[in-house]
Structure 1
Amino acid sequence: MHYAQVQAFGQPPQYLEGPDLPEPTGNQIRLKVLASAVHRLVQMRAKGQHFSATSAPLDPSSDGVAVDEATGQVYYVGTFAAPLFAEYANVDKARLVPLPAGADPVTVAALANPVQSSWMSLAARVNRDVLPKDFSVLILGVTGTSGRAAVDVARQFGAGTVVGAGRRAAPLQALVADKVLDAYLVLDDATLAAATRALGHVDVVLDYVWGAQAATVLNNLQPGAAVTQYVNIGTTAQEETLALSAQTLRSKNLTLSGAAPGSYTLAAAGKELPAIVAMAASLPKPADVVPYPLSEVARVWDTDEARKKRLVLLPETS
């Protein structure tokens, strides 16, 4: 069987050949892997920069789509359910969600993780009991795949106003013109503080960015009497720390939390997974999703395309 593994943290995965899998246990099923995406989570695991990656060699994959060759049923395979940079996987049946008929495996593989990131933030890390009807959401990093999916997720959860923030004005303006966003902020050092204050109260912040610009937003939020719930989901700024004023925490009605596997239980994620997969299957395939054969993983891993787009790896059967 062919598979891909990181032999040392920080190196691209290598395409390898090894023995076939052992027979599935009683609670497992053997599936043919169709697609597994290279999410930021996967990239971090490959570098040894995620808590789930403790040693190499390692299959850094997180989730994906696979098929039961005996029945033709296609499934979404949940996060860390099995190594999926491989032709086949033995998967616990409890970690599978059947895909709707006609769902595109590449689209679901590309979008299930991004959808899950914001879905679980709102389902498990935000206190929805205190949210008003048609609540407001600010999404930092809205032009990325995860941020764009977060807009749809926020609307699904009842958001009435969605404001997006990104580094370049042009794509943000286009999202407003297309009525995807209601307003936008540019993550610009010169204008961000004043623009954040001008927003007034925001009920929820979903942050894929972190770092210095997230600190500017935090220090200039205007919660008022109602709470602002701030959830960090990612660190696309590649800054793991930020400078947050103690005065901000003392003077504002603000809660801070994070969302990722570890901050909520697998049971909580499993409960939400059918809805997450259904949403991922319903969305159009983003233009920045690029499929490649798994055999080319070492060649495409560190390319400019891999850094700017979302690769989806497609194992080939020997």
Structure 2
Amino acid sequence: MRAAVLHGIGRTPRCESFPAPVAGEDEVVVTVTAAALKPSDRWMAAGVHYAPSVFPTVVGLDGVGRLPDGTRVAFFGLRPPYGGMAERTLVRCGMWLPVPEGADDVMAAAVLNPGGAAWKTVVVEGDVRAGQTVLVLGTTGASGRIAAQLAKGRGARVVAAGRDQRVLDELVARGVDSAIRVDRPHDELAAAIAAEGPYDLVADYLWGAPAEAVFAALPRTRPAAERTRYILVGMSAGETASLPALALRRAPVQLAGSGVGGPTSIADAATGYAEVLRRVRAGEITLDVVPAPLADVEAVWPKAGSDRRTVFVP
């Protein structure tokens, strides 16, 4: 079969022939119809996260395809060395979500990872409700963009913060209440964030210097009897941030991380996935998606931007 094959850490995958998978016990061969290129796929290839230990290996941590009986699913939980960016892949039994009728395969693949992360952060961990105020730090990326629109759809007042003015303008045009550029000096950014507060939830996809500005701003925004829930989802602006103790105590702030696992079951994840896709079909959530042939993976991989989600089609 054809697949996007990685031959070593730090190298670019290329489309080439790879042995077709054969299902063993508790495994299913899935025929792939679409697989999105995500930051986690890049981290895998770079050896930062989910790093492979055996080469060659097929990249892609998830995708959309069909089970042997024709059922359409969004899959994850893949068996190395098989990944999602291939004509076929090997999935552990039950490690998939149903794709609702009416959802396009490419869009279903595009929102699987970022939509699931956004739904988990906003709905499950953030418990966003109507009338609350939410700051989404990092709306340039797909998950932050979906999180902002999802929170707005649940009746919250939403402040979107990011670097890409085009995305910020589009979000405001679609109903997000306010937008803040984060590529500015620390004190100026902290003042802008404080002016839009207080916040019930901060969903942070950036960390690094923007997070430092948020923590400088939070003590200025609400009485000490209130609480801001701060959920760290990503670290695209840096792996570390200086965090003064009084920034947590004066706000006060409840700081938590959102990642793989946690309290969300596969059944709950399926509910969230269906909700995100329903809102996409209704036009309540938009995402820029660019389909690309799997054969072009070597050329597309280095160039794909964070403001658009590239989806490879075998």
* TM score, norm. by length of structure 2: 0.86
How many Å apart are 1:9 and its aligned residue? 1.3
State which drifts further: 115-124 or 247-256. 115-124
How many Å apart are 1:14 and its aligned residue? 2.5
Take 1:85 and 1:40, find their aligned partners in 2: how far apart are those partners? 14
Which residue number corresponds to residue 201 of structure 2? 204
Residue 193 of structure 1 aligns to which amino acid in structure 2? A
How many Å apart are 1:78 and its aligned residue? 3.0
Which residue number corresponds to residue 243 of structure 2? 244
Q: Matched residue of 2:136: which SS?
A: strand
Take 1:63 and 1:279, find their aligned partners in 2: how far apart are those partners? 19
Which residue number corresponds to residue 273 of structure 1? 269
- 1:137–1:202: 8 Å Cα contact kept in structure 2? yes
Identity %: 32
Residue 200 of structure 1 aligns to which amino acid in structure 2? G
- 1:6–1:56: 8 Å Cα contact kept in structure 2? no
Take 2:256 and 2:310, find their aligned partners in 1: how far apart are those partners? 29
Query: Over aligned residue pairs, what C-alpha RMSD do you find?
Result: 2.4
C-alpha deviations, 1:288-310, integer Å up to 9, x for none?
Answer: 3211122221121112x445532
Take 2:165 and 2:313, find their aligned partners in 1: how far apart are those partners? 34
How many Å apart are 1:281 and its aligned residue? 2.6
- 2:146–2:286: 8 Å Cα contact kept in structure 1? no
Which residue number corresponds to residue 48 of structure 1? 47
Which residue number corresponds to residue 230 of structure 1? 230
Which residue number corresponds to residue 171 of structure 2? 175
Which residue number corresponds to residue 166 of structure 1? 162
How many Å apart are 1:150 and its aligned residue? 0.6
- 1:4–1:85: 8 Å Cα contact kept in structure 2? yes
State which drifts further: 285-294 or 196-205. 285-294
C-alpha deviations, 1:38-73, integer Å up to 9, x for none?
Answer: 1111111111111x22524243312110113x5432
Residue 51 of structure 2 aligns to which amino acid in structure 1? A
How many Å apart are 1:212 and its aligned residue? 0.5
Take 1:141 and 1:258, find their aligned partners in 2: how far apart are those partners? 15
- 1:35–1:65: 8 Å Cα contact kept in structure 2? yes
Take 1:269 and 1:53, find their aligned partners in 2: how far apart are those partners? 25
Which residue number corresponds to residue 74 of structure 2? 76
Cα 1:202/1:80, change in 2 over 3 Å:
farther
Q: Matched residue of 2:299: which SS?
A: helix
Q: Matched residue of 2:58: which SS?
A: coil
- 1:201–1:223: 8 Å Cα contact kept in structure 2? yes
Unpaired segments ≥5 residues, structure 1: none
Which residue number corresponds to residue 92 of structure 2? 92
- 1:193–1:216: 8 Å Cα contact kept in structure 2? yes
- 2:137–2:160: 8 Å Cα contact kept in structure 1? yes
Residue 295 of structure 1 aligns to which amino acid in structure 2? A
How many Å apart are 1:125 and its aligned residue? 3.5
How many Å apart are 1:19 and its aligned residue? 2.6
C-alpha deviations, 1:246-267, integer Å up to 9, x for none?
Answer: 22123221011111115x26xx
Residue 136 of structure 1 aligns to which amino acid in structure 2? T
Which residue number corresponds to residue 184 of structure 1? 179
* Residues matched between the structures, number: 302
Take 1:65 and 1:296, find their aligned partners in 2: how far apart are those partners? 19
Q: Matched residue of 1:297: which SS?
A: helix
C-alpha deviations, 1:222-247, integer Å up to 9, x for none?
Answer: 2422210111111222x111122222
C-alpha deviations, 1:8-55, integer Å up to 9, x for none?
Answer: 111111223233222343x333221011101111111111111x2252
Cα 1:80/1:123, change in 2 over 3 Å:
farther
Take 2:212 and 2:253, find their aligned partners in 1: how far apart are those partners? 13
Which residue number corresponds to residue 147 of structure 2? 150
Which residue number corresponds to residue 134 of structure 1? 131
Take 1:145 and 1:23, find their aligned partners in 2: how far apart are those partners? 33
Residue 2 of structure 1 aligns to which amino acid in structure 2? R
Take 1:53 and 1:115, find their aligned partners in 2: how far apart are those partners? 23
Q: Matched residue of 2:112: which SS?
A: helix
Take 1:98 and 1:171, find their aligned partners in 2: how far apart are those partners? 30
Take 2:135 and 2:96, find their aligned partners in 1: how far apart are those partners? 32
Unpaired segments ≥5 residues, structure 2: none
Which residue number corresponds to residue 121 of structure 1? 121
Residue 210 of structure 2 aligns to which amino acid in structure 1? Q
Which residue number corresponds to residue 17 of structure 1? 17
Take 1:102 and 1:39, find their aligned partners in 2: how far apart are those partners? 24
